[in-house]
Structure 1
Amino acid sequence: MFRALWFDSRVRAWWLQGLLACGAVGGIVWLVLNARENLMRRGITVGFDFMDQAARFPISESLLAYQTTDTFGHAFVVGIVNTVFISVLVIAASTVLGFALALARRSTHPLITAIAATYVEVIRNTPLVVQLLFWYGMVTVNLPSARQAYQPLPGVFLSIRGFMFPKLAVAGNSTLFWGVVCAALLFVLAVMLAKPVIRKHWKTRLPMVSIAIAMAAVAITAVLLSGRAVASWELPYLRGLNFTGGMAFTPEFSALLIGLVLYSAAFTGEIIRGGIEAVGRGQWEAGRSLGLRPWHIMRLLILPQALRIIVPPMTSQYLSIIKNTTLALAVGYPDLAFVVATTINQTGQAIEGIVVLMAVFLTISLSVSLFMNAYNRRISLVQR
């Protein structure tokens, strides 16, 4: 019996995988216990009890409310939200700018092609941290003071204090309003993802996404008309030496956003251009023979086929963007890495801080990978 099991390739593979897994788990357990013992010998406490203690350090900007009397755990949450926020903005902006670069690289105009090619080569061959420091210097040194701020549009100001612009202020039951807004956005996203299934089972050609957007707009309008929440635009205005009201992007945030977007766009542009170039020229000729305009050919024929080539490498690029946000330390933006570094300096809990940092980035990266892989399976030719 054992001889038959040993010569069964599947059983043998499972046994080998099990032994390898046990060895890996055993090695990790040994490292943890050994590190714990050595730290205890030196009088260094181990554990996450410090999370309930007051942080006692400021965070210059955050989407969540934060005070120095809040706990280290809350400070970590603030850092995570800041990291996710900048990552989402950079991914969205670099994808749009990368698509424009891809089209510029494929342009028949020699000047546009040369400018796009020069931009890509310069950005891709310059260290990211150098670019971040360059943009931080541009923002903090070359922009005017608040009293002489540039005003390209009404209610929009650009100065050494940062980028100020109007924000949507909600009075009354703001929780209800933002809850409805989030539910409406999730509903529209769900309809966009489920559109092929809905059309297949219901045999309908109705514009499902447009209907979903209209229903979301009606729900938000109903909340405003009910009087339980009142929304208005809050404009920034100069008060003393700084601006008050509205929303502000600080110089640190602005430098990080500009640097990461311009750097990432050079890579996403080449990925998108490669996917477009991989589609056969016969598809362009077929579109022209049908009388389609170049943009319609790109949108209806080329991009749907190019996405199958673009999505896999774009997943890796998105993960690189998320990990590159840790360079926010270079310009002073308080992301998760900043909070972890400050916490380690104050508490000495280096191992715990690094574990939290690794666990958070691992969770974010795996979530992005799962989403992109699901989308890749959805657009693939062979459905599994």
Structure 2
Amino acid sequence: MTHPTHPTTNRWSLNSRATRGLLFQAIALVLVALGIWFLAHNTQTNMAARGIPSGFDFLGTPAGFDIGQTMIPYDPSESYGKAIWVGVLNTLKVAILGIILTTILGVLIGVGRFSRNGLIRGLCYGYVELFRNVPVLLQLLMWYIFMVEILPPFANAWSLWDLFYLSKDGFTMPIPARGVGWSWVYWGLLGGLAAAVIWRQRMFKRFEQTGQEGDMVWVPLALVVVLGLVGWLVGGMPTEWSVPEKQTFMIDGGYSATPEFLTVLIGLVTYTAAFVAEVVRSGIQSVSHGQTEAASALGLTPRQTMKLVILPQALRVIIPPMTNQYLNLTKNSSLAVAVGYPDVVSVANTAINQSGRAVECIAIIMLVYLSTSLTTSVFMNWYNARKAIKER
């Protein structure tokens, strides 16, 4: 007996749902590309008709203006491209340091909301309600007024052991002197930090399997110290430090942070940390109270319960909204122009005033913030995937 044969469906036929999906996506991409081309062509035509120059050739011409704070050597005779790159580095400096400090402060305050000490709980609650309900721009202006009005002048700078100085001119502190030797120390510390993270992950897996934390909780710190010491030895055991010395009109040596930089960093960190604290608090509350009771039954201390049981489970809830706060901090750094910090927005605005290339400079600003935001999102999504619950 022969069975009837069914006609084979062509995989590229329009009757295939996958084929139709690809076709619709291709049409959408073509329409988007045509829309972008039309806007760009129309803008360029209108600018040419009005005699307005266009193009990115101006990036190679001398900028002619100075930048108050730079991470790399810069001279006004250098190009607009170099000046904008200096602004980008200043933006990244605020964003990266801000994310690190925000995470530390936000987690501490979020965990502090569950402290058994009523005073600590009240202070953490008051911090959150104060800083998250005041607009970030107003907070930046408040900190800037504190820096330039309330702090003492240079002649009466607050000093600690004649090593740290704080005044209207900013904050100065000792740093290792520039040289190859100290770079080996930095690499050693970074290697130690990576080794400490790997160690902690292995110890946590061991805790999941055996329920025992282990006695060598000092190992992560020892790894950082030992590898940093190895880097110091490899680098020739450098001992030179750049120590601030108060002169007649300035403080020479050390690392100096300008009032504008301190204003932006402190303002963004204190504002965003309030939201991060609420994210951490809600993540901890999402973990069943039975987990705490089970940890107590196993003999874990409150500190061990929070570190080994509660926070690892809460991370799965914390990470996605935490990513949003990191993105908000990065984008809010554009408000630095309000206090005169030379970030990419400030430098680009100066370039617009001098070159007249408004469209090009705004496009560069958009590209910078889009790139930083997408990079942050990709990293946090990767980290979220590592911490997500995997069904077996």
Same fold (TM over 0.5): yes
* 1:209/1:25 CA distance change after superposition, 3 Å: farther
Residue identity opposite 2:234 in structure 1: A
Distance 1:91 1:214 in 2: 27
Local SS of the residue matching 1:46: coil
Kindly indicate whether residue 134 of structure 2 is the aligned counterpart of residue 126 of structure 1.
yes
Name the residue aligned to 1:254.
Answer: 262
TM-score by length of 1: 0.89
Contact 2:176 2:182 in 1 (8 A): no
Contact 2:195 2:223 in 1 (8 A): no
Give the drift of 1:250: 1.0
Give the drift of 1:215: 3.9
322, 328, 338: which one aligns with 2:346: 338
Q: State how 1:190-269 maps to structure 2 within 5 Å.
A: 191=195, 214-215=226-227, 217-225=229-237, 230-269=238-277
* 1:186/1:383 CA distance change after superposition, 3 Å: farther
* 1:182/1:236 CA distance change after superposition, 3 Å: closer
Distance 2:120 2:289 in 1: 22
Structure 2 gap ranges (5+): 1-8, 206-213
Cα RMSD (Å) of the superposition?
Answer: 2.6
Residue identity opposite 2:233 in structure 1: T
Aligned length: 372
Give the drift of 1:359: 1.0
Contact 1:94 1:261 in 2 (8 A): yes
Contact 2:186 2:231 in 1 (8 A): no
Name the residue aligned to 2:336.
Answer: 328
Give the drift of 1:213: 6.4
Name the residue aligned to 1:310.
Answer: 318
Contact 2:180 2:235 in 1 (8 A): no
109, 123, 131: which one aligns with 2:117: 109
Name the residue aligned to 1:290.
Answer: 298
Give the drift of 1:211: 5.0
Name the residue aligned to 2:278.
Answer: 270
Residue identity opposite 2:63 in structure 1: A
Kindly indicate whether residue 355 of structure 2 is the aligned counterpart of residue 347 of structure 1.
yes
151, 154, 165: which one aligns with 1:157: 165
Residue identity opposite 2:25 in structure 1: Q
* 1:220/1:26 CA distance change after superposition, 3 Å: farther
Residue identity opposite 1:314 in structure 2: M
Distance 2:380 2:88 in 1: 21
Contact 1:224 1:231 in 2 (8 A): no
> Alpha-carbon deviations, 1:259-297, whole Å to 9, x = none?
111101101111111111111111111111122111111
Q: State how 1:39-118 maps to structure 2 within 5 Å.
A: 39-118=47-126
Residue identity opposite 1:367 in structure 2: T
TM-score by length of 2: 0.87
Give the drift of 1:5: 2.0
Residue identity opposite 2:171 in structure 1: F
> Alpha-carbon deviations, 1:94-133, whole Å to 9, x = none?
1111112112222233333233222212211111111100
> Alpha-carbon deviations, 1:183-227, whole Å to 9, x = none?
546645665676769x99xxxx996996576345413421124xx
* 1:212/1:123 CA distance change after superposition, 3 Å: closer
* 1:231/1:53 CA distance change after superposition, 3 Å: farther
30, 53, 69: which one aligns with 2:38: 30
* 1:186/1:10 CA distance change after superposition, 3 Å: farther
Contact 1:147 1:238 in 2 (8 A): no
Give the drift of 1:300: 0.9
Local SS of the residue matching 1:158: strand
Distance 2:140 2:49 in 1: 42
